[in-house]
């Protein structure tokens, strides 16, 4: 449509939301659908957090707040960074937005000029490239293949850096692969970044608390304090406290950048929902039992799903370190034909045939920039996961 901006022609709708919508439509038509496409915990928000929100409403805390976050919330965020990450930030270095999504978007809009490059390891969260485009920049992809645990090496990062590189976006544990960088693996990247002072680091630590087994979460400014002055440490309450609908994300970094992000927010959305902010204060300051309880459940489900998927012909599923996703390869299924006669010539064809023929909704790997794979979100019950993996197994066994 000629009326729309040129920028918009470079942007596509979120494929994960598109798959979830399609699954919902099929279910509404009466199909027996198991949707493993949505990236949100299936648990309810903890009671103490809901109570804090109700109390905020009753106390009339329903007015505009400071644009980029209540002082009480900024204080709680500073305490969280100190307690959990050993990072010291002042409230003036903190910004609160409507979800982690708005935080990342504000930071890119605040900093990118036309032609500026942003390095994004693939597979990546679907929104990074489109946000970069919307902000006028150019995504530069670096592939982390299955063989290296879906992680990139220092050498690869070094090779991708040019004089135009503005940001390196880092996400560990990762959506979609669940891959988590150990301190040594991250150090390899921060050593490279130390040598390129014009490159800033945007670390998306949204899945920090979903780290399993021996894997220990770490974040760039903590691993390499020399990078503190050019790191934006981003996080949020959505995944950590089952608060996806409340829409609270936050970050901390250099004051000048935080100020610029606040200015963008002041001229677009203003403050995030006041009630949600009070709920987030309780999430960060209140009891933290939910985090360990949900982590244990997700770890058990991860083990279940990886085991079941590796029984499927043509599928290989490595064991991820965190998040609530697995990202199996379907290389062994490509070139075959499904029982209903669909040629499986790509991961998108695999996912479409799987949905049409078995009712299991997964997101195809091309959406995340690394193929041939698919992503399963295992944030659903053990019974549904077992049923879905059983259907995938039958589907794969039927490929000829």
For binding to ligand PLP (CB under 6 A), which residues are involved? 39, 99-101, 125, 171, 175, 204, 206, 236, 238, 244, 249
Structure tokens at 165: 């590189």
Chain center to CA of 224 = 23
User: Which residue, 126 or 349, is less far from ligand PLP as judged by CB?
Assistant: 126
Are the beta carbons of 69 and 250 closer than 8 angstroms?
yes
DSSP state letter for 12: -
Nearest approach in angstroms of CB 396 to ligand PLP is 27
Nearest approach in angstroms of CB 242 to ligand PLP is 11
Nearest approach in angstroms of CB 59 to ligand PLP is 25
Nearest to 231 by CA among 195, 199, 260, 263: 199
Nearest approach in angstroms of CB 18 to ligand PLP is 14
User: Which residue, 61 or 101, is less far from ligand PLP as judged by CB?
Assistant: 101
Nearest to 369 by CA among 159, 119, 178, 141: 141
User: Which residue, 174 or 338, is less far from ligand PLP as judged by CB?
Assistant: 174
Structure tokens at 307: 């085991």
φ, ψ of residue 351 in degrees (nearest 5): -65, -35
User: Which residue, 167 or 395, is less far from ligand PLP as judged by CB?
Assistant: 167
User: Which residue, 123 or 236, is less far from ligand PLP as judged by CB?
Assistant: 236
Nearest approach in angstroms of CB 265 to ligand PLP is 14
User: Which residue, 39 or 262, is less far from ligand PLP as judged by CB?
Assistant: 39
Are the beta carbons of 64 and 269 closer than 8 angstroms?
no
Tokens 């490595």, residue located: 318
Nearest approach in angstroms of CB 237 to ligand PLP is 7
Nearest approach in angstroms of CB 236 to ligand PLP is 4
User: Which residue, 338 or 373, is less far from ligand PLP as judged by CB?
Assistant: 373
DSSP 172-235: SS-TTT-----HHHHHHHHHHHHT-TT-EEEEE-TTTT-B-TT-----HHHH-GGGGGGEEEEE
Are the beta carbons of 42 and 382 closer than 8 angstroms?
no
Structure tokens at 56: 């905020």
């Amino acid at each position: 449509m000629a009326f729309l901006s040129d920028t918009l022609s470079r942007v596509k709708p979120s494929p994960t939301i598109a798959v979830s919508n399609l699954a919902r439509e099929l279910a509404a038509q009466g199909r027996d659908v198991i949707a493993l496409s949505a990236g949100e915990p299936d648990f309810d928000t903890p009671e103490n957090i809901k109570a804090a929100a109700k109390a905020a409403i009753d106390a009339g805390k329903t007015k505009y707040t400071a644009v980029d976050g209540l002082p009480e919330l900024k204080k709680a965020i500073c305490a969280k960074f100190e307690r959990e990450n050993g990072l010291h930030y002042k409230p003036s270095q903190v910004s609160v937005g409507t979800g982690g999504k708005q935080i990342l978007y504000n930071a890119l809009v605040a900093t990118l000029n036309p032609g500026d490059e942003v390095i994004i390891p693939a597979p990546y969260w679907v929104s990074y490239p489109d946000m970069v485009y919307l902000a006028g920049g150019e995504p530069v992809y670096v592939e982390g293949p299955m063989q290296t645990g879906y992680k990139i090496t220092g050498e690869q990062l070094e090779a991708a850096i040019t004089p135009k590189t503005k940001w390196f976006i880092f996400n560990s544990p990762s959506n979609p692969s669940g891959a988590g960088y150990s301190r040594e693996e991250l150090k390899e990247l921060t050593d490279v970044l130390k040598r390129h002072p014009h490159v800033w680091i945007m670390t998306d630590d949204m899945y920090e608390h979903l780290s399993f087994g021996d894997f220990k979460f770490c974040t760039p400014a903590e691993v390499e304090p020399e990078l503190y002055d050019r790191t934006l440490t981003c996080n949020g309450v959505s995944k950590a406290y089952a608060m996806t609908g409340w829409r609270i994300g936050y970050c901390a970094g250099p004051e000048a950048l935080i100020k610029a992000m606040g200015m963008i927010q002041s001229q677009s959305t203003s403050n995030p929902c006041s009630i949600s902010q009070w709920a987030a204060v309780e999430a960060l300051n209140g009891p933290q039992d939910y985090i360990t309880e949900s982590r244990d459940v997700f770890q058990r489900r991860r083990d279940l799903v990886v085991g079941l998927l590796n029984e499927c012909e043509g599928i290989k599923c490595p064991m991820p370190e965190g998040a609530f996703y697995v990202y199996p390869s379907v290389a062994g299924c490509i070139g075959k034909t499904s029982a209903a006669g669909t040629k499986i010539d790509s991961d998108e064809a695999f996912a479409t045939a799987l949905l049409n023929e078995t009712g299991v909704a997964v997101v195809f790997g091309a959406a995340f920039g690394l193929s041939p794979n698919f992503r399963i979100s295992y944030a659903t019950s053990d019974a549904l996961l077992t049923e879905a993996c059983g259907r995938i197994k039958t589907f794969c066994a039927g490929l000829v």
